[in-house]
Amino acid sequence: MSNLKSLEISSTQKTPEISCNSLSGHISIIGNCVPEDGAEFFKPMMEWILEYNKHPNETTELEVDLHYFNTSSSRILLTIFRTILSVQEKGSSLNIIWKYDEDDEDIKESGEDYQQILDFNITLESKPV
């Protein structure tokens, strides 16, 4: 069993709220995602996921609820998805939930694109506006 502490990063106008809970296996990215330096912003989360992957919970859930994100963030999100997929190798069942406003076709299509790229069934969840 790991002694991994949970990670909480508060949102700003340009960066999403990030929550990584090692006890529940719930990880979330919520808000706008246009950081000045995406790699630097997401570094603590990537380090946390790499550590979590060593001893994941029986169930892992990644919830993504972005209102807007830029191109550099989309590449980092893909890296996060690819990294979290490896929890399955340790026997953890993985659920990725991609939330979008029901009238936001762009965000919905981004979730569909990730699903195709990853060849992984992402749950696309529409939210009323």
- 40 to 37, 74, 82: CA distances (angstroms): 5, 14, 18
Q: Report yes or no on 101 lying in a domain.
A: yes
Which residue segment(s) compose the domain that 104 sits in? 7-127
Q: What is the pTM of this model?
A: 0.95
Residues 9-22 pLDDT 10s: 999 999 999 999 99
For residue 65, give the CATH number of its domain: 3.30.750
- Amino acid residing at 10: S
- CB 45 within 8 Å of CB 14: no
Q: How many domains does the chain have?
A: 1
Q: Report yes or no on 1 lying in a domain.
A: no
Q: Report yes or no on 2 lying in a domain.
A: no
In this predicted structure, what is the pLDDT of residue 1?
Answer: 46
Residues 20-76 pLDDT 10s: 999 999 999 999 999 999 999 999 999 999 999 999 999 999 999 999 999 999 999
In this predicted structure, what is the pLDDT of residue 3?
Answer: 83
Q: Report yes or no on 27 lying in a domain.
A: yes
